[in-house]
Every structure is written in C-alpha cells, then in structure tokens.
Structure 1
Amino acid sequence: MPSFADSFWSEDLSTGVERLFVELHKGCNQNALFIQLFASRMQYEVNYGRQLCNTTSNIEGYSDTSNSDQSVDNALNQLATAMEKEGNEHLAIAADIETTVLRPFSQWCEDHEQRIEYSEKILKTNVLNYQKSTKYVEKLEQHYFNKCRQLEDHKRSYFNDDELVNVMKQLELFQEKETALAKEREFDAFGKFGNLDFDVRTMRETLSLLLTKLEKTTYKMPFINFTFENTNNGSEIVKFLMENLALKDVDQAETFGQDLLNSGFLKYCNGVGNTFVNSKKFQYCWKQYAYKFARVPLPNASEHGDSHDEEGPQPISTYLTDLTSKISNSQDSISTLPTISNTERSLLKYVKDLETADARYRKECKKLDILRCSLEELLVDHFTFMEKCELDRLKALEKVILDFSPIISKNASAMKELNIAVLKTGTEVDPTLDLLNLVERGRTGTFQPHVITYNNYYNPGGFQNFGIDLETRCRMDKKAVPLIVSSILSFMDRVYPELPNDNVRTTVWTVPVKLNSTHQLRANLNEAPFQEESQITSILANYAVEPSVIASVLKIYFLELPEPLISNDVYDILKALYAEFPPSHVESEEQAAIDAQRVSGITTAFNSLSKPHIATLDAITTHFSRLVKILKMGSSATSGALANEFIRSVSQEFANCIIRVKLPDGNNLSFKIFTDLLLFRKPIFRGLKRQNSKAQENHEKAPYF
C-alpha cells in the first residue's frame, strides 16, 4: 500500500501538504457525524424513557384503581408498571451511550483534531518559510548573474583577449599588494581605550568579545512604541570589562565605555547626551557599525541576515570598511600601490562586486539546500505520524460502532433487528482499505526532492555532486559513469562479504532508512567534487556498519538528478511498447517471442539516451545482476526464491529512481522496465553497443564535401 510519506509531494510542497490536510479534515467531519448520530440516539432514549416513566401520572384516575380487587384493574397496574420499567431501561441505555460511547469518543476526536491542527500549522509554516527563502535565493542568483554579465560586457568593451590577459595579471599583482597592505594595517595604532593602547587587530578582537560573549537584551522606550535591539546597560558593560580585561578599577572600565561611545561603537538609548555611566538605568545600544568593524554577524538580522563574515573566499574589499579607511588613509600607503588606469580600476570593481555577489549567493544556496533537507525530513516525520493518526481514527470508529451494539441490545426483543444491523456494520468496517482509498483519492505525487543547486557562471557543477545533471558530472569526473556512483557500487561489493548472510545482503537495498541519516551522508558527499575514488571511500568507510544508509544515498542521488536516467520522451515510447508487448510470468514460446520483441524495442528506445545515462543504467543493473547470480549459486534450497524476491523488491525500490513517476500511471511501468533490465541486461546493452558501432561506422564512411 502506498504510504502518506510517498504520496503527498508536489514541486512547491504546499500543494501536497494542503491536499493531505483537506482529506484529514474530512475525517474530522466524519467523526462529528458519528458523534451527532450517537448524541441523537441518546436524546431519543432519554425522551422516550422519561415519557414511559411518567405513564401512570399521565393517566387520569389511575390512582383510583390502585386498591381495586378487579382483575382488569390489576392488569392495568401491571401494564403501567412494565412500561415504567421499560422507561428506566431506556434511561439506562441513554446513560450507557453517554459514558461508554459518546463522552470518551468525543474527547478522543477533540484530541485527534488538535493533533491534526498542530501538524498542519507546523508544516504550513515551515513550507511558507522555505518558499520565502527560495525566492530570496532566486533574487541572489539573478543579482549574481547580472554582475557576471556586467563584468563580461566591460571586458568585451574595453579589452581584447591579449590585453585582458595582461590586465588580469596586473590586477592580480595589485590585489596581492592591497592584501599585504591590509595585513599591515591590522597592526596600525587604533587609539586609547581606558588609557590602554590598542592596534586595529586587538581592538577588533576585544570588540568581538563584547559582541559575542556579553548577553544582549531588547530595550523598549517608555511612552513610545520603539525598541532598540542588542543593548546593555552601563553596569553590565563595566562588569564584563572588569572580568575579561586587565583593568585596574571601575573608573578605568567606565573610561573604556566612554571611549567606546566616543568611537561610534555604542549609542545612548534612554536619553540625550554622549556620556557613559556605570548604572543599570543607563541603556546603550551596540551600533551596526560595531558589528561591521568586528566582522561579527548581526544576531537580530532579518531572516536572511546581514552577515559580514561570508563563507568562501573573501574579496579584498572586505577589509576596506569605513573605520579602517579612517585610520589608514596616509598618502605613503596609497603611493605604494601599483598604478592602474580608470578602466582597469572599473574592471577591478566589477571583479570585487562579482566576488561579493558570488560568495553571498553560494552561501545562501548551501543554507537553503540544508533547509530543504530538514524540511523533507520534517514532512516525512509528520506524514508518517498523520498516517498513524488516520489509521487510529478509523480503528476508533470501528471500535465505537462495536461498543454501541451491546448497549442497544439490552432491550433485545425490541432491538433485535437494529442490533444485527449494527454488528454487521461494525464487522464490515475496514480501516486499512479506507486508508488506502484516502491515499489513492488525495495523493499529489511521490517523493521527489528538488535540489537547490549553486549555478556558478564560470564553473557550473564544480561545487557540489548532488543535483547536477549526469552529462556535466561525467564530463567533470572524466568518466563514463559519475565517480560517486561507481565508488558506491564498488564499496558495496567490498561490504557484501562482511555481511552475515544472503538475506541481509539483499535487504540492504530495500530496508527503510531514516531520511535524516541519508541526508547526513549526503551532506558529507556533497561538500565538493571528488578527484578520485579513495576520497569517496574514506567517507563511506564511516558508514560501513550501516550499509543500508549508503544504499539509500545512492537512491537519493538518482532522485535528485534534474533529468531522470530514462527521460520522459523515452518513457512515453516505452509506455506504448509495454502496452503492445506486455511481460508475463507464464513461460511459453509465444511469450518468449513477445519478450524478444519487447527487449528489441527497449534497445531501440534507449539508443536515444546519452552515453552517461546508458553507462549509468548499465553499471547499476550489472551490479544487481551479479548479486542475483551469486544468490542463485547458493547451496540453500531457498536461494532461487530469494534471488527472485530480490529482483522484485529491488525493482520496486529503484522504479522511482530511474523514471519520474506520473501519478495516473503509477510506478508499475518503471517497475517492469527495471525488472527487464535485470532479466535481459545482456541482450539490451549488447544491442545498444552494436547499434552505436554501426552508427559510428556509417559516420566514418559518410563522404566529406
């Protein structure tokens, strides 16, 4: 049965989440209908029971017959008493409905609805935040490519190829000199703070200590609706300085605080003036300028932050902040820099702007991809939990119907037919089937991760392994099959002998693995492209005790490819092919002929795939075919059955990995294709090699004009 965790996905994520909770809220409405039904029946029992209990009081003159000796009066008394007794029975039924069915089921339904609302709020909030982050990264990407275009336009407008080579060398020397000067300025005198001499570097370290280790608060101005972020009172600052710096006394610490105020690192919040006072009543705000100088990110920056310490290579201009230019603007230092023209200076500015945009874009791409992985893990966890909740709801309805039956059967003679109907209804409830119907009715798509790729203008695919198309990855790896794929398959070959038995060797590829564990290994493998197999093997070795995680990361790699191993065009051809020549478990000469035609059609269809796609499919199926062959060679009586079961299970597992599943079709076709690739691997790929050889010969024989 398809699970929630593999049924409610969509490209924007929100569509699948929205659809799931629409279906779950329908279940809550269904609960409410049952509650109304039980409440109505309880009320009917109460009303009818009360009327029966009031039988004698509603009969005029009934009291006159109580002492009569006539048999008819005696019969009247007996009938009235029986009716009142029946009334008490109906009241007892109503009480039982309330205590046994209505009250506990209503409470359970309320708790169930709260669980759904909580999960819905969590998921929708996280998806919305992810969508905002995605839009932000798209803006950064656009800004980065605009900077690339400006740089390339400037190069083409002012330099030819030879001039550009010379200019870039000159600018490289200029930047090296600028870097050296920036390092020298770190040791320039900065000023006196608390009668202590500080150079730029020491001041930066001291300020960084104050900004990161001293706990900040938010200060709200009295009488007006305005708040200051990142504040401390004078007493807190003085206490921190006394504890962390070699200051003689409080006066020196207070002088230090005054110097911070005078230098523009602090500003006074709750009054007018420019005096630092060691008091809890005087509040001071750390200015953004202080964070910039100390190269510390603002703690209360917006969602995407105004961080000043970007990851990756820092442009040289990072050093040229306002403050450092104030203390390092001597003509002697400037004159030591090589002379460059205005055009070259503009080129340098474009290069630095590009470096800044690139560093920020790359950093946010990495953050967003980590956020995507976390969101996918959260969605899987909540989808799984919601599936359990929905199954519990259906089982609770089944139980409450069966609990209702013995209550109404108390008055067996009158309720016999109703009791039979209720019992039959309770036994016909099938929670598993209802859950399957919910999934089939509401599913939006299988699990399909959409990687956040860092699209570098000058080196696409050169900074990550996952989410890069196969052609680019193979070209950069200089291999027919991506290095990461061949390395994982080779590593698994070395792991198999260490596993206890054949059953464990096969289930490694099919056992469920927590998405969080897979993402952890993925993160380690996605830091940077690898140059050789040993680099990948050293990472995989840390997961040798959990080979299922390694197998899972290979599936994730294929799922995250921008184009599947079998493209959509080929998929449509194969769909028609399998409709005309369907596979069958029945062995006959006629079926063998159908299989041969189908295999020939697969070979022809695959011929339009690129070489990396064909080679990768060949590598995967070769690995599994070899494992199947080893299984069949086993001495156990169940070896053949185990091999056949492995073909079925691994084909089911990799069905979504080789083809983008379309919901109306499901993954049944991709399951059949992968099964055929395992069963008929040699004729399929030999046919492909033969067709490629003929095409190459025809190309060589073609006349040249």
Structure 2
Amino acid sequence: MPGFADSFWTPDYASGLGVLLSKLQQGIVENQQILTIANMRAAAEDQYSAKLGEIAPAIDRMTNGFARDDGASVRKAYEGIRSEMIEATKNHQKIADSIRELVVSPFGRWADQHELRVLNSQEELQIRIKEHYKQSETVKKLRTQYFSKCRLVEDLEEENKLAFQSPEKEIAGSPKTLPLPPTIVLPGDSEELEPVELGDKIISSEELKKLLTHMLEAIKLGEVKFPILGTYLNTSTGADIVDFIQRNMGASSVSYAERIGQDLVNNGFLRLVGNVGSTFANSSRMNYQWRSKAFQISGIPEKKKSLMRVTSMGSGSDDVADSPTAVAVADLFSQWNPLNNSNPNETPAEKLRREAREADERYKAAVKKLDRLRCHLEEEMVDYLKFMERCELDRLRAIKAVVLDFSGAISNVVPSLRSTVDKMMLYQETIQPLGDLRYLLENYRTGAFVPRVQPYENYYGNVDEQTFGVDLEARARADRKRVPTIITTILTYLDNHYPDLEGDEARRAIWLHEVPLAVAHHLRNVLNNGKPFTHEVLEKYEVPVVANVLKLYLLELPGLRNCEDGLHYGKRSSSGGPRQSFAKHPWTAPLEQHCHS
C-alpha cells in the first residue's frame, strides 16, 4: 500500500497538500467530537450521582416512618434499598471521575499537541512552497526576456544580411548641397542569381523567379501572433506549402514535398517562426515566414508593418525602416547617453547581443536556483508527509484506545450497563486504524511521486549542460547513442556488481530498497551536467542509491504522469538496443513491482 509520501503530489505541490491538510483538519475536529462526548457523559454522571445522593437525606427527614419500627422485616428491605441508592451515588460518581481521568485529561492534552504539530508543520511547508512559486514566476519572466532578446538579435542579423549589401552612392550636386543621409539599397533584378537545388532538381534563376511568383500568389499568406515573440506577417503553414508542392511541383509523396520545403528554408526563402530550430514539417501548426529574399526575386511587394513614429533610420519606405528590429535599434540610438554608458564603443547590434547573453545568464541562474529550491522542497515534503502519516496513524490508534478506556470506565463500575458496554466494545472492535488509513488514501489520493523538473530551455535546442528532466530522445541525440549514456553506464555498473549479491532476491532488493531522497538528490546533482561519467563516480555511493537515481531519472522525464509511464517509456525507447536494454534487464521486474506497490 502506498504511503502519504507517494500519494499527495500534484504539479503545483499545493493542491495535493491541500487535500491532505483538509483531512488532517477534519481529524482535529474529530478529536474534539470525541472529547465532547466524554465531557458531556461525565457531566451527566455527575448530575445522576447528585440526584441519587438526594434520596437518602430526603427520606431521613420523614421521622414518622420506618424509623419507628426497628425490628420489622420491611425496614431491612427499606434500609437495603436506601443503601443501594447511596452505593449507586458512589458508583456513578466513580464513573464520572474515571472518564475524566482515563479519557478527558490525557486525550485532551494529546489532542492539543496533535493540533499544534499539524499547524506548525503546515506553516513551515507553506513558506517553502511560496518561495518555490515566487522563483518559478521569476524564471518565467526571465525566460520571456531571454527569448525576446534572442529574437531581436536574430531579426537584426537577418536584416543585416539582406539590407546592407549595396550602399547607395552620394548624389552629385552643387558644393553647397548637403549630402543626403545614407540609405539602404536591396539587390536589384539585374543581379545574376545562382541556380538552387530543390529536391532532386536544379532550378535556374528564371525558373526560380517564376516558381516563387507562383507560390506567393497561390499559397495563402497571413499573419500569426505569438505571446513572447510578437506578430509575424507573410506567413504560411507547412501544410499549405506541402499541398502546393504536391499539386504543382510533381512531389509524389509527403516526405519528398517536405524535403523541397526544407530546401526552401535552407536557401533562405522561408524561416520557421514561433519554434526553435529550422526544420520544415507538413503541419498546420507549424508556421513559416516568407523572407524578403523571396519577394525580391519574385518582384511581388512585401507586406510590412506601418510605423507609428519617425525613426532615425531614414525617411524612405525601405525594409529596414519598416521592421520592428530597426525601430528597436533606433530607440537604442535615441536613448544612448555617452556619459552614462558603461560601453561607450559598443554599437547597437553589439549591445543587443550583450543583453541577450546577459539575459541568458540570468535565466540560466534562475533555473538552477529554482531546481535547488524544488529539490529542497521535495525533500521537506517527503519528510513532512511521512511525519503526518505517523501522526494520523497515532491519532487513529489513540481514538481506538480512548473508546476502549471510555467503555472500561463504565463497565468496571456498572455491571447493569453490560449490554450498553457490549455495544460500545463492539463499536471499538470495528475501528481499524490501518483500514481507515487505506480508505483515506484510496479516496483522496492525488497522485504518486513524480518530480516536476523545470529544465533549462536553450533557445537553440541545446541540452549539453543537463541530464535530468531532458527528453529521452534529445538526451540520446546529444550523447550520440541510441540510449542515453546515463542509463547504459548505470546498468553496466549494476551488472558488474550483481555477481557480488547472493541470489535474485538480493538483486531485486536493491531496486526496492527505500533510499532517502536527499541522498538520491546528492548523486543526481553530481550527474546532472550533461557529461558522461565513469564507474569511479558511482563507486562512492551504495548500490541501492545508484539504482534509485536511475528510477529518479525515469520519473523526471518530461510528460510522465507516474512511475509506470517512465518504465514504459524506457522499454519503448530502447527496443532493439544493446544487451542491457530496458526490456531485457533484470531490474524491470522489481521496478514494476515498485510502481504497483
């Protein structure tokens, strides 16, 4: 049966804990209900005893009754009844005292301490969750700034390639005429274009011009807006481009059409927007922008954004003056103050690149800090959940003991209440602490322990500096292996140590052994650098710790919901791989048992 430490996890951490805290608060109220029953029963016994104690004085004040007849047998019966009333008074007072001594006082003190334990632990953990959330928001903000800076640098470099190729000569005039500001001249139609390769064909300059003209006229052009990067004009979807290629260029298959589309990207006629990379794909969700080069060759006017202000880049209608990047550069010039600039010889382009590098470093540092906070938070959450599980189990056992003491306080004094006591004994026998704990988990469990890693997202898709939390296939490509190096190295290390273990049960035990999360995180931090490592690094740790780090690696794979997903992902990704593949390795059986436990 899974415990608290593997049952109340959610992506935001707080939701799962909120469910558990509501149940713990419910337990605090349940404790007060038990105390209320005991207090009111003790008060009722006090009142009953007091009423029984009034009987003897009341009948003694009647002087002309049994007191006058000393030897009558009827008087003995009377005195016996009177004595029973006095004894009943003592018995019910004893019941009230026993309830307060055995139930109210000890359980009341324990309930107060239990409530303090729950509330104090909750406050400490909420502080950690708030710190993690605040840092997570900081990472999102810095990521937005980093991506925006990279996009500005990319746009500026692209425009520099196209715009600053043939500066216009100065206009001849009288000596008194001032020279005009420098303007940007784009390549004219008279320039000779080199043939390009599209698919398996070499396209001449004339054919290329006709083809681009046809494509720009036939393919739907639109605009697409992205939250971080802004709005892009003259865009077409990958699906529309592939459809045109199949209809007009004789592409017999989608893969061949995608190959032609990739050639258009590689030759500078298209570029992918809204995503990292330059891959062409037949998808309605992939958007590609037609570059200025395509419009220049075809002679079709390019749609540009209209400017809302005059910039210092020139008064013409050239491409640079109409681009958002040119406006940004002009703003940099207008805001530049030589007296306050720490880099006086820095050009606007160099400043953009420097700011992009600085934004990258800030973003990367924030991600690392977030990862440290997350690890510490998860360690504290595991300790907290285990502690709360012990507290809740102790509470249920305490209630069981209270019911037993409560019934004993009554049954030891009043045998006539045996039927009531038997019912109460039956009730206490029906209390099963482990069963109640299992019911709580089955009905309120929010999810197994699956750590949610916030990986560093390199703008260009590079994963060289991190190992955990990275897509399995991306990690394998970076390692240039069919299976990531961390998996094969750990499995080889374990294979070398299996002969030292006696029997299959001992080998399975290393996978089922519970390793403290802090110890596993220590080895994880050593390996989480994107670089290969040797067995000497693993020799510093016990074998169960190494096996647990491999399980932690699978759990931190992106997009996984639970342990079984990581196991299935590993088997599928390594099908047909080396001898130590996931599907054939002896560790899969105990790990499957761990996933289902």
CA distance in 2, matches of 1:104, 1:627: 55
In the alignment, does 2:496 pair up with 1:494?
yes
The alpha-carbon deviation at position 472 of structure 1 amounts to 1.1
Q: Residue 486 of structure 1 aligns to which amino acid in structure 2? A: T
Counterpart of 2:460 in structure 1 is 458
Query: Quick one: distance in 1 between partners of 2:490 and 2:27?
Result: 44
Are 1:403 and 2:405 matched, yes or no?
yes
Distance 2:163 2:373 in 1: 42
Distance in 2 (CA, whole Å) between partners of 1:140 and 1:507 is 44
Residue 651, structure 1, aligned to residue 592, structure 2: yes
Q: What is the CA–CA distance in structure 2 between the aligned matches of 1:429 and 1:454, rounded to whole Å?
A: 50
Q: Decide which structure has the larger Cα Rg and report it.
A: 2
Q: In the superposition, relative to structure 1, how do residues 620 and 16 fare at CA in structure 2: closer, same or farther (>3 Å)? A: farther
**Letter aligned with residue 369 of structure 1:** D
Residue 388 in structure 1 maps to residue 390 in structure 2: yes
Deviation at 1:73, TM superposition (A): 3.7
2:106 is paired with a residue whose SS is helix
CA distance in 2, matches of 1:93, 1:373: 54
Equivalent position SS for 2:540:
helix
- Structure 2 letter corresponding to 1:473: R
Equivalent pair of 1:48/1:90 in contact (CA under 8 Å): yes
Q: Is the 8 A contact 2:9 2:17 kept in 1?
A: yes
Q: Which of the residues 543, 567, 574 maps onto 1:616?
A: 574
- The corresponding residue for 2:530 is 529
* Equivalences for residues 304-703 of structure 1 within 5 A: 345-526=347-528, 528-530=529-531, 532=532, 535-543=533-541, 546-564=542-560, 614-616=572-574, 622=580, 649-653=590-594, 655=595
Q: Aligned partner of 1:614: which letter?
A: R
Cα distance, 1:619 vs structure 2: 5.8
- Identity rate of aligned residues, in percent? 34
1:634-685 deviations in Å (ceiling 9; x for gaps) = xxxxxxxxxxxx87543122x4xxxxxxxxxxx59xxxxxxxxxxxxxxxxx
User: 1: distance between equivalents of 2:160 and 2:354?
Assistant: 18
Quick one: structure 1 residues 624 and 614, their matched pair in 2 at CA, closer, same or farther if it must change by over 3 Å? closer
The answer to whether 1:89 aligns with 2:91 is yes
Question: How many angstroms does 1:567 deviate by?
Answer: 13
Report the secondary structure of 1:508's partner residue. helix
Deviation at 1:421, TM superposition (A): 1.1
Aligned alpha-carbon RMSD (Å) = 3.1
Say if 1:567 and 1:124 are closer, same or farther in 2 by CA, change over 3 A.
closer
Q: Deviations over 1:253-278 (max 9, x none)?
A: xxxxxxxxxxxxxxxxxxxxxxxxxx
The question of whether the paired residues in 2 share the 8 Å contact of 1:4 and 1:383 is answered with yes
> Residue 482 of structure 1: CA displacement?
0.6
1:135 maps to which of 117, 137, 155: 137
In structure 2, relative to structure 1, the CA distance for the partners of 1:414 and 1:18 (3 Å cut) is same
In structure 2, what residue type is equivalent to 1:652? Answer: Q
**Deviations, residues 507-541 of structure 1 (Å, cap 9, x unaligned):** 01111111111100000001x222x4xx2433212
Whichever residue aligns with residue 38 of structure 1, its letter is A
1:381/1:322 CA distance change after superposition, 3 Å = farther
* Pairwise CA distance, 1:61: 3.8
Conserved? CA contact 1:565–1:613, under 8 Å: no
Q: 1:358 to 1:371 in 2, by over 3 A?
A: same
Q: Contact (CA 8 Å) 2:571, 2:583: kept in 1 or not?
A: no
What is the distance in 1 between the residues matched to 2:457 and 2:33?
Answer: 53
Q: Which has the higher contact order (CA 8 A, sep 6+)?
A: 2
Question: Is 1:3 the counterpart of 2:11 in the alignment?
Answer: no
2:33 corresponding residue in structure 1: 33
Q: Is the 8 A contact 1:133 1:368 kept in 2?
A: yes
Q: 1:423 to 1:617 in 2, by over 3 A?
A: farther
SS at match of 1:542: coil
Cα separation, partners in 2 of 1:90 and 1:462, compared to 1, 3 Å: same
Structure 1 position 153, deviation (Å): 1.3
Alpha-carbon separation, structure 1, partners of 2:499 and 2:341: 63
Contact 1:66 1:77 in 2 (8 A): no
Partners of 1:143 and 1:357 within 8 A in 2: yes
- On the 8 A contact 2:476/2:483 being kept in 1, the answer is yes
**CA shift for structure 1 position 412:** 4.1
Residue segments in structure 2 that go unaligned for 5+ positions in a row: 166-337
Partner deviation per Cα, 1:294-342 (whole Å, 9 max, x = no partner) = xxxxxxxxxxxxxxxxxxxxxxxxxxx99997xxx9xxxx9xxxxx8xx
Letter in 2 for 1:91: Q
Q: Specify the alignment match of 1:206 in structure 2.
A: none
Are the equivalent residues in 2 in contact too, given 1:402–1:426 (CA < 8 A)?
Answer: yes
**1:377-433: CA deviation from partner (whole Å, max 9, x where unpaired):** 111111011011111111111111111222111344421101111222222211000
Q: Distance in 2 between matches of 1:472 and 1:139?
A: 25
- 8 Å CA contact 2:450–2:562 kept in 1: the answer is no
Tell me the alpha carbon deviations over residues 602-657 of structure 1, each in whole angstroms, 9 at most, x when there is no partner: xxxx9xx9xx87343666995677665xxxxxxxxxxxxxxxxx87543122x4xx
CA contact 2:94–2:413 (8 Å) conserved in 1: no
Residue 133 of structure 1 and its aligned partner are, at CA, apart by 1.0
Kept in 2, the 8 Å contact 1:369–1:451? The answer is yes
Deviations 1:437-456 (A, max 9, x none): 01111111111111121111
Report the Cα distance in structure 1 between the residues aligned to 2:485 and 2:491, rounded to whole angstroms.
Answer: 10
- Pick one of 115, 118, 128 that aligns with 1:116: 118
Asked whether the 8 Å contact 1:518–1:553 carries over to 2, the reply is yes
Letter in 2 for 1:46: D
CA distance in 2, matches of 1:29, 1:564: 37
User: How many angstroms does 1:57 deviate by?
Assistant: 2.4
Give the Cα–Cα distance (whole angstroms) in 2 for the partners of residues 620 and 512 of structure 1.
29
Amino acid at match of 1:650: L
Q: Distance in 1 between matches of 2:97 and 2:561?
A: 64
2:246 maps to none
Distance in 1 of aligned mates of 2:454 and 2:352: 26
- The 3 A distance-change label for structure 1 pair 487 and 73 is same
Q: Which amino acid aligns with 2:535?
A: T
CA deviation vs aligned residue, 1:465-487 (integer Å, no higher than 9, x gap) = 11111121111111110111111
SS at match of 2:438: helix
1:45, 1:91 within 8 Å by CA — same for their partners in 2?
yes
1: CA distance between counterparts of 2:127 and 2:391? 21
Letter in 1 for 2:593: Q
Contact 2:574 2:583 in 1 (8 A): no
Name the TM-score, length of structure 1 as normaliser.
0.56
- CA deviation after TM superposition for structure 1 residue 498, in Å: 2.9
8 Å CA contact 1:52, 1:86 repeated in 2: yes
Task: Report the residue type matching 1:541 in the other structure.
Answer: E
Q: Match for residue 24 of structure 1?
A: 24
C-alpha separation between the residues in 2 aligned to 1:468 and 1:102?
56
Distance 1:647 1:148 in 2: 43
C-alpha separation in 2, matches of 1:452 and 1:647: 27
Aligned equivalents of 2:423, 2:580: Cα separation in 1: 59
Q: Is the 8 A contact 1:362 1:454 kept in 2?
A: yes
Aligned CA distance change for structure 1 residues 63 and 365 (closer, same or farther; 3 Å)? farther
Task: Report if the CA contact (8 A) 1:486-1:619 is conserved.
Answer: no
Q: Number of aligned pairs? A: 423
